[in-house]
Amino acid sequence: MRSACEGEPRYKEHEGKQYCLFHYPGSEKRDVFMAGLRARGHENFNFRGFWFPDWISFYGVEFPSAADFSGANFSVGASFYQVVFEADVDFDATNFAGEADFRLTTFRGRANFQKNTFGGSTNFSEAVFGAEASFGSANFMATAYFSKVRFSEQAIFNLAKFSGASFFDRIRFSGAATFHSTAFSGMSSFDQATFGGDAKFRETTFSSEAIFGAAEFIASANFTSAKFSKLAHFGSVKFRETASFGSAKFSGDAWFVETAFNTDAYFGFVTFDAEANFGSAKFNAAACFSSANFGGKVDLTFAEFKAMVDCHEASFGDEVRFSGDETNCVFQPGSSLNLQFVRVEKPNRISFHTLTLSPHWFINVDARKFDFINVHWTNYGKVTEEIGLLEGRQVASPHRLLGIACRRLSANAEENDRYREASTFRRMAGDAQRLETWRGFDLRSLNWWYWLASGYGERPSQAMLMLLAILLVFGMLYTRVGFVRWEPRLATEADTVVARRDEVGAPLRFGRALTYSALVITLQKPEPKPATSAAQTMVLLETILGPVQAALLALAIRRKFMR
C-alpha cells in the first residue's frame, strides 16, 4: 500500500524514531501541520496514521475516491459535517482522542470504523451510509450520536463498547443491524428506530436504561441472551416478524406496554427480576413464556392474545394479573393458555379479572387459590369438547388431568361462595372420570350409577326425575305382582293353627299402585302386604332405592342453592 507520507521530508525525531510532519505525535507542529495539509492538494485522501494536533474540520469537503483515516489520531477533535465520501472509507483502528463529528456526512462506499477508539463525543447524526458500515469492536468512550442515521445496507456493531450514552433514535437500518455482544454501559436510546432487516442483539449487554420506545422491527428481532440491568423500554414497539428474547435477563423493569407482536414472540427461559408489564400488548401469534422466571409483578392488563400463550414450567414469584373488561377481550377466539407445571410462590396473587377462560387451561397447575373475578368459562359443563381440545394438544391422560383441574376449580369456587359454579365444576370432574372408560357407559362403575341418579349429586332436576321414575316403575310393577286380598281374623290361639293367609294375592290397580309406591318410598307400611315373593322383593327394593334417591335429591338441592 502506498504510504500516506510518501515523498514527504523528515520533520522531527520522537523517542528515537524519525517522523514526517503528518505522523509526528506532537501538538507543537500545529501551524506547520495545517499549512502542510493544505499543500497536499484536494485529491490526496490518504490520511493513514496521521496525527492531528488540533481541531480539524472537513466541512463541505467531497471525497470522490477512497479516503483513508485508518490509524489516524485526532487528539482534539474532528468535524466531517456534510462531507461526502464517494468511495470506500477505511478508518480501521483509528484513534479519535477528542470529539469526532460526522454529522450529515454521506458515505457512498463501504465505511469501516472497526476497532476505532472514540475518546470524545462522537456524532454521526443524520449521516448516510450507502453501503456496508462496520463499527465492529469500536470503543466509544463518551456520548455517541447516531440519531436519524440511514444505513442502506448492513450495519455492524459487533463487540462494540459504548461507555457513555448512545443515541440511535429515529435511525433507519435498511439492511441487517448486528449488535452481537455489544456493551452499552450508558443509557442507550433506539426510540422510534426502524429496523428494515434482521436486528441482532444476541448477548448484548445494556448496563443502563435501554429505550426502544415506538421502534419498528420489520424483519426478525433477536435479543437472545441479552442482559438488561435497568429499565428495558419496548413500549409501543411493532415486531412484524419473530421476536426472540430467549434466555434474556431483565434485572430492571421490562416494559412492553402497547407493544404489537405480529408473529411469534419467544420469551422462553427469560428471567424477569423486576416488574414485567405487558399491558395492552397485542400478541397476534403464539407467545411463549415457557420456563421463564418472573421474580416481580407481571401485568397483562388489557393484553390481547390470538393464539397459544405457553407458560409451561414458568415460575411466578409475585403478583400476576390477567385483566380485561367487557369491551376488551384478553383471550381472543382461537387463543389458549398453557399453565402446566408453573411454579407459583404466591398463588393468592394470581388474578384473572373479566376474562373468558377454559377449564382445560388449568391442568397440571393448582388453581385452588387463584383469584377469579367476573370470569366467563367457555365449554362450561361441556367435558367432551374440553377432552377433545386436550387430545388435540396430545396431552397424556386428558380425562384424569381434566378431572383434577375441575375439582381444584370447584374448590376455588366454593371457597369464594360461587356455589353454582362449584357445582358445575364438580359435575365436570365426575364426567371426565366417567367418560374415560367405555365412552361413559360402564355399568360396572358406581360412578356411572351416581351420574345417572343425580348427576353426581349436582343436578336437582335429574335427581327429581329419577325419583319420579322409581315411583312410576315400581307402581307399574305393583300392577303385575300379588298383594294379600284378605287377612284372617284370629279370635283365639287355636285360630292361628287353622288360619290360612292369602299367599296368591292380587295385583293392585294402577292408581292404587302409584299411591302404594309413594308410601313405600316414604318408609310407610301400607296395606295390603305383599303376598308373593316377587311382590315382597319389589317392596324391599323400593324401600332401599326410594329413600336413597330422595337423599340424593336433597343433596343436589343443597349444593345448588346453598349460600
Q: What is the pLDDT of residues 131-161, one digit of tens each?
A: 999 999 999 999 999 999 999 999 999 999 9
Buried b / exposed e over 295-332, threshold 16 CB at 10 Å, is: bbbbbbbbbbbbbbbbbbbbbbbbbbbbbbeeeebbbe
Domains belonging to the chain, first-starting first, are 453-561 (1.10.287.70)
For 357-368, the pLDDT digits (tens) are: 999 999 999 999
Q: In this predicted structure, what is the pLDDT of residue 31?
A: 81
For 24-39, the pLDDT digits (tens) are: 888 888 788 878 877 7
**Mean pLDDT score across all residues of the chain:** 88
- Cβ-based neighbour number of residue 34 at 10 Å: 14
Q: Shortest CA distance to 358 belongs to which of 397, 385, 328, 391? A: 385
| Residue range 428-453: mean pLDDT, rounded | 79
Per-residue pLDDT for 301 more than 50?
yes
The β-bridge relationship of strands 17-20 and 10-14 is: antiparallel
Please give the grid coordinates belonging to residue 34: 495545517
Helix axes 398-415, 383-392, angle to 10 degrees: 130
Q: In this predicted structure, what is the pLDDT of residue 562?
A: 60
Q: In this predicted structure, what is the pLDDT of residue 563?
A: 44
For 158-170, the pLDDT digits (tens) are: 999 999 999 999 9
Question: Which conformational region is residue 519 in: left (phi greater than 0), alpha (psi within -120 to 50 degrees), or beta?
Answer: alpha
Residues in the chain, overall count: 563
More confident residue, 476 or 440: 476
For 76-133, the pLDDT digits (tens) are: 677 777 777 777 887 877 788 888 899 998 898 889 999 988 989 999 999 999 999 9
pLDDT category of residue 489 using cuts at 50, 70 and 90: low
For 495-540, the pLDDT digits (tens) are: 555 556 667 788 999 999 999 999 999 988 898 889 888 999 999 9
For 370-426, the pLDDT digits (tens) are: 999 999 999 888 899 999 999 998 999 999 999 999 999 999 998 998 888 888 898
More confident residue, 112 or 70: 112
The identity of residue 79, as a single letter, is S
Whole-number Å distance between alpha carbons of 105 and 129: 8
Per-residue pLDDT for 1 more than 50?
no
